[in-house]
Amino acid sequence: MAQTRLDPKHIAELQEAMHRAANAAPADWDAWLARYDQPARLELAGGEIMNPGIEGFVFAWRMTGRAKPAALTPTDRLNAQGLEGKLVIQTSLVLALLVWAELPPYRCQIFTEATHE
């Protein structure tokens, strides 16, 4: 199944739902995770590895070899220079949402197989 890019509005809705579930009863968080904790691909502009808001994630990606450099493509919607390239990280939707919250708009994109309607 092909992965689709989540638009920023949809990501914001998912983040709001995640925060509501995390601040509610433990059963609500478990239900949210059961529905949404699935594989995702996170792509971010290469320069974001220096962003202090995601330094813990960058450290973990480096230790596990998860972050792979990639060239920018014409379909990317990253606000990035061609020399900067991008990083591609296979992760979970939950972690992708957490990283997205720490980055400037249009410096990150999330892809998943489900539509999350």
For 68-80, the pLDDT digits (tens) are: 999 888 888 888 7
The per-residue pLDDT for range 92-101, each reduced to its tens digit, is 999 999 999 9
- Asked if pLDDT for residue 117 goes beyond 90, the answer is no
6 touches 110 (CB < 8 A):
yes
> What residue ranges do the domains of the chain occupy?
4-112
Residue pair 40/111 in contact by the 8 Å Cβ criterion: yes
pTM to 2 decimals?
Answer: 0.88
Q: Which tens digit of pLDDT belongs to each residue from 28-82? A: 889 988 888 899 999 999 999 999 999 999 999 999 999 999 988 888 888 877 7
What percent of the chain has pLDDT above 90?
A: 65
Q: Is the pLDDT of residue 103 over 70?
A: yes
Instruction: Name the strand (E) or helix (H) holding 67.
Output: strand 67-70
Question: Shortest CA distance to 41 belongs to which of 95, 106, 1, 84?
Answer: 95
